Amino acid sequence: MDGLDTTVEEQKAHEEGVIACWSCKGPVLQVVPFCETCGAVQPPGQVNHFLRLGLETSFDIDIDWLDQHYFNMQRNLHPDRFAISSAQEKSLSQQQATTINDAYETLKEPLRRADYLVDLLSADLLPDGCDLVNDQALLMETMELREALEECETLEQVNALSTRAENEIKGCIEKLSKLFKDNDIEGACRLKTRLRYLKKLTEETRIHQMKLI
Amino acid sequence: MATLLQIHEPGETPTPHSGGPRLAIGIDLGTTNSVVAVSDKNNPEILRDEDGRALVPSTIAYAPDGSFIVGGLANDLLIERPECVVTSVKRLMGRGLKDVKSLAGVLPFDVEPQTEDESGMVRLKVAGHKLTPVKISADILSALKARAEEHLGHVVDQAVITVPAYFDDGARTATKDAAKLAGIEVLRLVNEPTAAALAYGLDKGTEGTYAVYDLGGGTFDVSILRMEKGVFQVLATGGDAALGGDDFDHVIAEHFLKDKVKDKLNTSEVKMTLMTARRAKECLSTENRDEWSIEIDGNTSYHKLDRATFEGLISPLVEHTIDICKTVSEDASLLPEEIKGVVLVGGSTRIPLVRQKVAELFGKDPLSDINPDEVVAVGAALQAEALTVGSETLLLDVTPLSLGIETMGGMVEKIIPRNTTIPVAKAQEFTTYIDGQTAMTVHATQGEREMVEDNRSLARFELHGIPPMTAGAARIRVTFAVDADGLLTVSAMEDTTGVEAEVAVKPSYGINEEEMAEMLYDSMKYAKDDMEERLLAESRVEAGRNLNAVSAALSKDKHLLSSTQFAEIQAVICQLEDVVKGTDRDAITEAAEQLEKATKDFAEKRMDQGIRMALRGVDVDTLDEQASKG
């Protein structure tokens, strides 16, 4: 094989995601955490959070499955598994664990997942400011709920409000799921703003609950 | 040939020739007391002295020649030679002078006045020496190490050391530095409440969402964890790194001094008063006595303190811990009643008022089945075994404090919020203000407040080697990474040119690299032999990794080699295997390089084969399956 061929092929292979294992120098796919041949831990590579955690790129995810899969990945890749390994392996395991944590933290929570998915699907296509609050109804709703919270004097009242907000959040997530399914990214982008406000409200109700305990 | 076909599971690294089972220990390095434990075959054991005592007082007494004793004997010397004795040095780890609490305006430490150019770390005057808290901690650690070595009958050089969850970066670094000085490799810094949870989970099979309330001699932590099927996931943590039994002693001592012993106390008298206060506190937790005496200069003074007064004195401090518990519950998005149980850790949880308040908040009787003084060391020992022998247990901890950087006007911009699972990394982009600017400083802080002055200053990172460009053109990506020990590292790169900037760290309260090097040099315990042994161990690990990789490659792709080529590689492998058994580090390095050279063509052939397969689409599906399995 002559030199030119190798370069072109290597280039192509790189695009296909084949790289050389740092340890045994053999071929290894970019997304694989361990070399198939020698078992050495690999650098995390560039893949999106869904792919990294073995999920389809979708707003609907099975949280219990995600938890278990995340734990299994960390069981193999966390720096605690490499406490007596070489410096190189320690460093790679830290990089792996860091990217897995980042992916998990982003995807496990619906709001962050929606943010990430909107970015991933259509970062440049959306009109500017579609996630800003320009929705009168939303503003009114938020103000009304906040006032209601301020007027709460008993734990029961706060609990009722908290339940209401949580139900609203549930509905919001269901609608988001439908919008993403229908590929209405602009609609999803708008709706996640409402989710953000509702989440903030539940945090505030929690603080209020603590004060009354 | 048999060794050639040895294939290791992914993630499992063989450690060849490690020379017999050397156990790694767990150390609970406490403010008042320390405990050492070891675990073998999942069987944790506390190392006790002849009288069955697990607790080693974290008290150290120095002689003028620099020799020292640690533990109960040092405590006894506190009465006769207070100027030679240091207690509670943990409170000074990674801290500045303004963090040290005084009694009646006098510190319980004899502090050396600081000079301008020195780092923020205090130096103590003890028996004519000037010692940093890191050095004093190192001496305590080496006494604990010696205790373990005597018990186990072998050299101990690896340990898990626990730290308060709420310890900031400075205090963690200081602890790790102290271990290094004592000749101990820290396998992991584990947070104390997490270690306690580990002990309950692994030793008692506890499962569910639990809170760990840890009130020690000098620090308070509360962590909420989800524990199930061998996974210990910290949901939120909080605390006060300067609130513990010592502070109870302080309020009692202040109460005693209201009756005026004499006008002005010296450091030794302060130490004596605090000791009496501590005795009173301990007695009042089990019985109800109400008169106490302090003897200074042969004059004995008598003081009144009954249980009710005592509880009144400490009540604001206990309430403060309860408030922190509430905040942590909020952070975990849980109400106290949603928490299945609460575990008590630390000697100060023996105080009845503390137990009562914790029970009230969580609405259930707290657990203390495992001795609150020993549970942290048990967890540390279990983790030390898991890290060295391997384990299915997964421990996911979080950052206790938000990490931020100073921006315009002394404001803090948060980069990594508190309660983020570690390890974590976040990048932030900066640009230059002036044409041709090649350096800049990033000031990292830890804490929850908005202004820099209200947070803890961690370090100033000086970035050098930024390629000169017009102002605003450079894109400097600064990455803040917190590792599994909770320690921060900063790296920086100019994005448009790909030039990596150098980062020099100026810790705000710690020793810099030069000081560390100097201390290591001075330290007799870290002699040249030790250093050489460490390097030898490292090159053996690396050679083992290399041998394992080549063996695996050969067993898979042997068909790419002619029998001559195979025999050649084989010969070099044998050579490396041979020298690894010896102690000649240079020979190991050289043989490893030989192996690298001998397998270069083989590696190329393997890549060619892999690339061809990828291009033809052969095998890719099976590889994909592997990828999705993770």
CATH classification at residue A33: 1.10.287.110
B609 within 8 A of B557, measured Cβ to Cβ: yes
In the structure, what pLDDT confidence band is assigned to residue A3 with cuts at 50, 70 and 90? very low
Give the CATH number for residue B440: 2.60.34.10
Q: What is the pLDDT of residue B623?
A: 46
Q: How far apart are CA B279 and CA B289, in angstroms?
A: 11
| Domain identity same for A19 and A92 | yes
Q: What is the pLDDT of residue B120?
A: 61
Would B521 be classed as within a structural domain? no
* Count of beta carbons in the 10 Å neighbourhood of residue B251: 18
Q: Is A8 on the interface with B (CB under 8 A)?
A: no
**Closest residue of B to A205, CA-based?**
B330
Non-local (6+) Cβ contacts of B45 within 8 A are B37, B38, B39, B381
- For residue B38, the SS3 value is strand
Give the CATH number for residue A174: 1.20.1280.20
- For residue B149, the SS3 value is helix
Question: Quick check: A26 and B326 CB within 8 A?
Answer: no
Angle between helices B192-204 and B375-389 (to 10 degrees): 80
Would B327 be classed as within a structural domain? yes
Question: Quick check: A34 and B11 CB within 8 A?
Answer: yes
**Is the model's pLDDT at B359 over the cut of 90?**
yes
Boundary (domain end) residue, out of B493, B515, B537: B515
Q: How far apart are CA A68 and CA B198, in angstroms?
A: 19
| Domain identity same for B469 and B556 | no
Give the type of residue at B24: A
Q: How far apart are CA A157 and CA B338, in angstroms?
A: 19
Residues B431-462: b if buried by 16+ CB within 10 A, e if exposed:
ebeeeebeebebbbbbbeeeebeebbbbbebb
Task: Among A86, A90, A91, A209, pick the best mutation site for testing chain B contact (most B Cβ within 10 A).
Answer: A86
B316 against B259, higher pLDDT: B316
| Domain identity same for A11 and A99 | yes
Number of domains in chain A: 2
Would B470 be classed as within a structural domain? yes
Q: What is the pLDDT of residue B121?
A: 67
Q: Is B5 on the interface with A (CB under 8 A)?
A: no
| Domain identity same for A141 and A116 | no
| Domain identity same for B503 and B533 | no
Give the tens place of pLDDT for each residue, B565-623. 899 999 999 999 999 888 888 999 999 999 989 999 899 989 888 888 777 764 444 54
B185 against A138, higher pLDDT: B185
**Closest residue of B to A103, CA-based?**
B424
Which of chain A's residues have a Cβ under 8 Å away from the Cβ of B553? 24-26, 37-38
**Residue-wise DSSP of A44-87:** --S--HHHHTT--SSS---HHHHHHHHHHHHHHHSGGGGTTS-H
Closest Cβ opposite residue B607 in set A20, A54, A89: A20
The CA-CA-CA angle for residues A154, A158, A159, to 5°, reads 110
Give the tens place of pLDDT for each residue, B28-68. 999 999 999 999 988 999 999 888 899 999 999 999 988 99
Q: What is the pLDDT of residue A43?
A: 92
Interface of B with A in 419-438 (CB under 8 A): 420-425
- Known catalytic residue at B584: no
A78 within 8 A of B484, measured Cβ to Cβ: yes
Of these residues, B168, B192, B247, B406, which one is catalytic?
Answer: B192
| Domain identity same for A14 and A116 | yes
Give the CATH number for residue B369: 3.30.420.40
- B603: distance to nearest CA of chain A, Å? 5
Q: What is the pLDDT of residue B88?
A: 87
Interface of A with B in 70-89 (CB under 8 A): 71-87, 89
Which of chain B's residues have a Cβ under 8 Å away from the Cβ of A94? 423, 481, 483-484
| Domain identity same for A85 and A137 | no
When pLDDT is averaged across residues B402-409 and rounded to a whole number, the result is 85
Question: Quick check: B330 and A85 CB within 8 A?
Answer: no
- B321: distance to nearest CA of chain A, Å? 14
Number of domains in chain B: 4
- Known catalytic residue at B373: no
Q: What is the pLDDT of residue B12?
A: 41
Of these residues, B110, B157, B168, B214, which one is catalytic?
Answer: B214
pLDDT-wise least confident of A56-60, A161-165, A195-199, B121-125: B121-125
| Domain identity same for B104 and B192 | yes
Would B522 be classed as within a structural domain? no
- Known catalytic residue at B117: no
| Domain identity same for A58 and A105 | yes
Q: What is the pLDDT of residue B113?
A: 66
Non-local (6+) Cβ contacts of B35 within 8 A are B27, B28, B46, B54, B55, B56, B373, B374, B376, B377
Boundary (domain end) residue, out of A96, A120, A144: A120
**Residue-wise DSSP of B312-361:** HHHHHHHHHHHHHHHHHHHHTT--GGGS-EEEEESGGGGSHHHHHHHHHH
| Domain identity same for A156 and A111 | no
Q: Is A104 on the interface with B (CB under 8 A)?
A: yes
| Domain identity same for A13 and A105 | yes
**Is the model's pLDDT at A6 over the cut of 70?**
no
Give the tens place of pLDDT for each residue, B488-536. 888 888 887 777 776 766 666 666 666 666 666 665 555 556 667 778 8
Q: What is the pLDDT of residue B386?
A: 95
What tokens does B508 get?
A: 């705000």
Query: Running DSSP on this structure, what letter comes out for residue B8?
Result: P
Give the tens place of pLDDT for each residue, A19-36. 889 988 888 887 789 998
B57 against A185, higher pLDDT: B57
| Domain identity same for A9 and A114 | yes
pLDDT-wise least confident of A107-111, B35-39, B80-84, B528-532: B528-532
Interface of B with A in 489-548 (CB under 8 A): 538, 541-542, 545-546, 548
Q: What is the pTM of this model?
A: 0.85
| Domain identity same for B279 and B339 | no
Closest Cβ opposite residue A84 in set B387, B552, B624: B387
When pLDDT is averaged across residues B58-80 and rounded to a whole number, the result is 89
When pLDDT is averaged across residues B323-335 and rounded to a whole number, the result is 91
| Domain identity same for B484 and B541 | no
Q: What is the pLDDT of residue A5?
A: 46
| Domain identity same for B201 and B70 | yes
Give the tens place of pLDDT for each residue, B422-472. 999 999 888 888 888 888 888 888 888 888 888 888 888 888 888 888 888
- A106: distance to nearest CA of chain B, Å? 11
Phi/psi for B126 (5° steps) reads: -135, 120
> pLDDT > 90: what percent of chain B?
39
Closest Cβ opposite residue B630 in set A73, A84, A203: A73
Boundary (domain end) residue, out of A98, A120, A142: A120
Q: What is the pLDDT of residue A4?
A: 42
Interface of A with B in 134-193 (CB under 8 A): none
Q: What is the pLDDT of residue B610?
A: 84
Boundary (domain end) residue, out of B346, B370, B396: B396
Boundary (domain end) residue, out of B344, B379, B396: B396
ipTM, two decimals, is 0.86
Would B130 be classed as within a structural domain? yes
Which of chain B's residues have a Cβ under 8 Å away from the Cβ of A41? 10-11
- A82: distance to nearest CA of chain B, Å? 8
| Domain identity same for A60 and A165 | no
Most confident of A69-73, A124-128, B335-339, B438-442: A69-73
Would B23 be classed as within a structural domain? no
Of these residues, B28, B249, B269, B485, which one is catalytic?
Answer: B28
| Domain identity same for B392 and B458 | no
Q: Is B550 on the interface with A (CB under 8 A)?
A: yes
Give the tens place of pLDDT for each residue, B88-130. 899 888 877 666 666 656 666 777 766 544 556 678 888 888 8
| Domain identity same for B559 and B620 | yes
Non-local (6+) Cβ contacts of B474 within 8 A are B431, B432, B437, B466, B467, B494, B496
| Domain identity same for A43 and A74 | yes
B524 by Cβ neighbours in 10 Å (0-12 / 13-18 / 19+) ranks as: exposed
| Domain identity same for B166 and B80 | yes
- Known catalytic residue at B624: no
Q: What is the pLDDT of residue B472?
A: 83
Structural domain span for residue B67: 31-244+314-396
A44 against B518, higher pLDDT: A44
Q: How many CB pairs below 8 Å do chains A and B form together?
A: 179
| Domain identity same for B112 and B144 | yes
**Is the model's pLDDT at A95 over the cut of 80?**
yes
Closest Cβ opposite residue A38 in set B423, B541, B548: B548
Structural domain span for residue A73: 3-120
Give the tens place of pLDDT for each residue, B4-30. 333 434 434 444 334 457 899 999 999
Boundary (domain end) residue, out of A65, A89, A120: A120
